[in-house]
Structure 1
Amino acid sequence: METLQLNHVKLTWLNGGVTHLDGGAMFGVVPKALWSKKYPHNDKNQIELRTDPILIQQDGKNFLVETGIGKGKLSDKQKKNFGVTEESELLHSLEKLGLTKENIDYVLMTHLHFDHACGLTEKVNNEYVSVFPNAEIIVSTVEWNEMRKPNIRSQNTYWKENWQSIESQVVPFEKEWVKGKIKMVHTGGHSDGHSILIIEDDHEMIIHMADIMPTHAHQNPLWVMAYDDYPMNSIDAKQKWLQFGIENQAWFTFYHDAFYRALKWNEHYEIVESVKRER
């Protein structure tokens, strides 16, 4: 498992499963001739996308960023449609670190699309229960409201199986949520309630842009997904936080990227440091 260690904060990437989605959808209006130079695709025009949660350890507390695609949660048809070649081994990853699901204190959800939220619940005795019973689940108020009352577009990704049994654990926030060195900021864009994470540890910084910059190949502010509900909001947020991060020599971390866990860009958008995923 790859790690990124700051002075007082440690990040570890866990195994949450893998999907393969259409490259055209993932890069929106960007021509294939351009995006395919940045990120490889298979013969079905699909690109590999991890769904790997990040364990953040700070001040004796365990924070989980996203929860993967779950295990035994998707039907065979869904697995085929989403190009799932590997389901989540999240709990096994925690075991390797000497942790159990009961040791998770906070689950930080940048948004609640199925590929981020399926790991929140599991079926036991034919009913869904919370996977992380002792955790507070942190998500923006806007996202939480839409999760429970999706519209005609979002109902395909906001599933009742992923929220009904964890409702009592959810702690919604309006604009920001802060715990120690970790801050969540509501940005909108990919979804109306989408949020990012900012970690400031002494003179070091991490920015987790979640799905407004799902992979390193989405660094260009104009390269946004066709899946984004509010693409101009994604572009505005990406411009703002990319500039802020580069000015502060921040690490940018990824949940979906199949090649990089984290990296730093200089002012010319050249990679100067990186943590690569072991393949």
Structure 2
Amino acid sequence: MERLQVGKATLTWLNGGVNFLDGGAMFGVVPKPLWSRKYPVNEKNQIELRTDPILLQLDGKNYLIDTGMGNGKLSEKQMRNFGVLEESNLESSLEKLHLTVADIDCILMSHLHFDHACGLTKKLGDEYVSVFPDVPIITSSIEWKEMRNPNIRSINTYWPMNWESIQEQVKTFEDEIHITDELKMIHTGGHSDGHSIVVFEDGENCFIHMADIMATHGHQNKLWAMAYDDYPVTSVHEKEKWMEYGYERKAWYTFYHDAYYRALQYDESGVVIDELKRKQYEY
């Protein structure tokens, strides 16, 4: 497991699963000759994507950023359609760190699409139960509302089995919430109406988890939005805002979906000055 130290925050990437999605969908209207220079693609026009939660350890507490693909929750058809090669192995990842799900103090959900939220619950008999009983689950109020009342488009990604058993644990916020003095979640919209990012600032040390408005290192260009984005123009404007903010601070940008990089640090002009790769890859 890869680990990154940013100020007093320690980030460790857990095993949340891997799937393959159509590269055209992941890069929207961007022509393949452009995006394929930035991110590898296979002969089926698919790109490899992780769904790896980030364990954030700060001031003696364990926070989890998103929860992975889950395990044993997808049908054969869903596994095929979503190109799932590997499901989550969250508990064994925590065991390697001498932790269990009972050691998680809080869960920060960037949004509640199935590939981020399936790890919140598991099947027990004929029911779905919380994987993290009594642990606060923080998400934006807009996202939580849509999770429970999806529209004709979002019903395919907001699933009752991922929210019905954790309702009492959910804590919502409007525009911004401070988790600690240095750590906050900020509602951006864009990818989903309730999408949020995570920002950490400790003196000169900073990381920004852009979640799905910059899903991979190949999405650095502020104009490149996914076809999966419900509000792509919002994604573009929010990415522009937070890339400018992070560039000025030489922030680390962390990734949940990237199969090649866990995090990249950029200078004031957006040039990479440091990197953390997935150990299995040299790219």
User: How does the TM-score come out when normalised to structure 1?
Assistant: 0.99
Aligned pairs, how many?
279
Equivalent-residue separation in structure 1 for 2:202 and 2:90 (angstroms): 26
Q: Secondary structure at the match of 1:134?
A: coil
- Contact 1:94 1:100 (8 Å CA) reproduced: yes
SS at match of 2:85: coil
- Whether the 8 Å CA contact 1:141–1:172 is kept in 2: the answer is yes
> Is contact 2:67–2:116 with CA below 8 Å preserved after alignment?
yes
CA shift, 1:169, in A, is 0.1
1:99 aligned onto 2:99: yes
SS of equivalent residue, structure 1 residue 57: strand
| Alignment check: 8 A CA contact 2:249 2:268 kept | no
- AA paired with 1:109? M
Q: Which runs of 5+ in 1 are unaligned?
A: none
Aligned-partner residue type, residue 52 of structure 1: D
Alignment of 1:1-279 (within 5 A): 1-180=1-180, 181-279=182-280
- Contact between 1:104 and 1:134, CA under 8 Å: does it hold in 2? no
SS of residue matched to 1:85:
strand
Q: 2:270 and 2:208 mapped to 1: Cα distance?
A: 15
Shift of 1:165: 0.2
1:7 Cα deviation after fit: 3.0
Return the offset for 1:135: 1.1
Matches of 2:92 and 2:140, distance apart in 1: 29
Would you say the 8 A contact 1:261–1:275 is kept in 2?
yes
CA displacement at 1:113 relative to structure 2: 0.3
Q: SS of the counterpart of 2:30?
A: coil
Question: Equivalents in 2 of 1:278, 1:74: separation in Å?
Answer: 28
**CA deviation map 1:98-123 (0-9, x unaligned):** 11111111110000000000000000
Q: Can you list the C-alpha shifts for 1:224-268, whole angstroms capped at 9, x where unaligned?
A: 000000001000000000000000110000000001101112234
Q: Please, what TM-score do these two structures have when normalized by structure 2?
A: 0.97
Amino acid aligned to 2:34: L
Aligned-partner SS, 1:200: strand
Please say if residues 247 and 266 of structure 2, whose CA atoms lie closer than 8 Å, have aligned partners that are also in contact: yes
Instruction: Classify the secondary structure of the residue corresponding to 1:189.
Output: coil
Distance, in Å, in 2 between the alignment partners of 1:262 and 1:171 is 28
AA aligned to 2:55 is: L
What is the CA distance between 1:202 and its match in structure 2?
2.2
Residues 53 and 68 in structure 1, CA contact (< 8 A), matched pair in contact too: yes
Q: How many Å apart are 1:6 and its aligned residue?
A: 2.4
Distance 2:6 2:139 in 1: 25
Separation (CA, whole Å) in 2 of partners of 1:269 and 1:57: 27
Question: Cα offset for 1:179?
Answer: 1.5
The residue type equivalent to 1:189 in the other structure is G
Aligned residue for 1:93, secondary structure, equals: helix
What is the one-letter code of the residue matched to 1:269? G
Taking only aligned residues, the RMSD between alpha carbons, in angstroms, comes to 0.8
Q: Percentage identity across aligned positions?
A: 64
**Shift of the alpha carbon at 1:269?**
2.6
Q: Distance in 1 between matches of 2:116 and 2:177?
A: 19
Secondary structure of 1:228 counterpart: coil
Report Cα offsets for 1:62-97 as digits up to 9, x if no partner. Answer: 100000000101111111111111110111100111
Letter in 2 for 1:95: E
